[in-house]
Amino acid sequence: MASNRIGRINEEIQKELSRAIRDLKDPRVQDTMISITRVETTPDLRYTKVYVSFLEEDRARDALKGLQSAAGFLRRELGQALDLRYTPQIMWERDDSITYGAKMLALIDSLGVERDEEEEDDHG
């Protein structure tokens, strides 16, 4: 029962932070596409770990610093949007899974293996 509640809270936090990040004025954050891939909140609602992925890898470090700098503002926005006893402290964590997936696809494509369309039809 409690895990369902935490799951719903995680979804709400993800939705609200995604909205709030778009409104940030910090150029480090505005200059790159940021995706929140998942959120994990502790059962006591004191801390939430927010996993973020960046489209432009060369700007990721600066964007993460911008998010850390705006954590207090974002926490206040979160507190106003959600009706929780405690507003969790935000900890940012970089999620490289999207980048890793893109690299793997590029490696597979670089092998130059042509797939037969009939084979795809038979299996897909």
pLDDT (tens digit per residue) in 83-120: 888 899 999 999 887 778 888 888 888 887 665 555 55
pLDDT at 46: 94
64 is written with which tokens?
A: 């993460």
- For 113, the token pair is 């293996």
Amino acid at site 26: D
Q: What is the pLDDT of residue 3?
A: 75
What tens digit of pLDDT does each residue of 44-83 get? 999 999 999 988 878 889 999 999 999 999 999 999 999 8
Neighbour order of strands in the sheet with 47-54: 34-41, 47-54, 89-94
Strands (DSSP E) found in the chain: 34-41, 47-54, 89-94
User: Higher confidence at residue 6 or residue 123?
Assistant: 6
Q: What is the dihedral of CA 101, 40, 38, 108, to 10 degrees?
A: 10
Span 2-112: which CATH code?
3.30.300.20
Per-residue pLDDT band at 12 (split at 50, 70, 90): very high
Task: Select from 93, 24, 31 the least CA-distant residue to 64.
Answer: 93
Pairing of strands 89-94, 34-41: unpaired
The verdict on pTM exceeding 0.85 is no
pLDDT, position 57: 79
Instruction: Give the pair of three-digit tokens for residue 41.
Output: 């909140």
Q: Is the pLDDT of residue 34 over 60?
A: yes
> What is the rounded CA–CA span in Å between residue 116 and residue 122?
10
Q: Spell out the domain ranges in the chain.
A: 2-112
